[in-house]
Amino acid sequence: MSVSNEQYQELLRARVFDPESLTRALLNRKRRTPQGADGNLLLVASDHTARGKISMGSDPVAMADRHTLLDHLVRVLSHPGVDGVLGSADVLEELAWLGALENKLAIGTINRGGIIGATWELDDRVTAYDVEHIESLGLDGGKTLLRINYTDPAVAQTLETVASITTQLADRKLLSMIEPLPYLRDAAGKATLNPSDDALITVVAIASGLGASSAYTWLKVPASDRMNEVAGATTLPILMLGGDPSGGVDPIFAKWETGMKEPNVRGLLAGRTLLYPPDGDIEAATKRAAQIVRPDH
Q: Which segment of 88-92, 128-132, 249-253 scores lowest on mean pLDDT?
A: 249-253
| C-alpha–C-alpha distance, residues 272 and 80, integer Å | 19
Q: Where are the strands (E) in 80-156, listed by range?
A: 84-87, 105-109, 141-148
Model confidence at 9, pLDDT cuts 50, 70, 90, reads very high
Amino acid at 19: P
Residue 246 has pLDDT above 80, yes or no: no
User: For 35, what's the count of Cα atoms within 13 Å in the CB-facing half-sphere?
Assistant: 15
Q: Are 142 and 175 in contact (CB under 8 A)?
A: yes
The reported pLDDT for the residue numbered 23 is: 96
Q: Which segment of 1-10, 50-59, 74-83, 85-94 scores lowest on mean pLDDT?
A: 50-59
CATH topology for the 5-293 domain = TIM Barrel (3.20.20)
Domain ranges of the chain: 5-293
Mean pLDDT of 41-68: 91
Q: Where are the strands (E) in 186-292, listed by range?
A: 191-193, 217-222, 238-241, 265-270
Backbone angles phi, psi at 117, to 5 degrees: 85, -5
- Can you give the pTM of this predicted structure? 0.95
| C-alpha–C-alpha distance, residues 129 and 91, integer Å | 12
Quote the percentage of the chain above a pLDDT of 70. Answer: 100
Over the stretch 148-191, which tens digit does the pLDDT of each residue have? 999 999 999 999 999 999 999 999 999 999 999 999 998 888 99
Q: Among 209, 231, 169, which Cα is nearest to 34's?
A: 169
| C-alpha–C-alpha distance, residues 142 and 161, integer Å | 13
The reported pLDDT for the residue numbered 272 is: 93
Q: Are 255 and 225 in contact (CB under 8 A)?
A: yes
Quote the percentage of the chain above a pLDDT of 90. Answer: 87
The reported pLDDT for the residue numbered 57 is: 80
Mean pLDDT of the chain: 95
Over the stretch 105-137, which tens digit does the pLDDT of each residue have? 999 999 999 999 999 999 999 999 999 999 999
Burial 112-136 (b: 16+ CB within 10 A, else e): bbbbeeeeebbbbebbbbbbeebbe
Adjacent-strand bridge partners of 211:
none
Model confidence at 56, pLDDT cuts 50, 70, 90, reads confident
The reported pLDDT for the residue numbered 118 is: 92
Over the stretch 214-243, which tens digit does the pLDDT of each residue have? 999 999 999 999 999 999 999 999 999 987
The reported pLDDT for the residue numbered 34 is: 79
| C-alpha–C-alpha distance, residues 206 and 117, integer Å | 25
Q: Are 47 and 88 in contact (CB under 8 A)?
A: yes
DSSP one-letter string for 205-229:
HHHHT-SS--TTEEEEEE--TTHHH
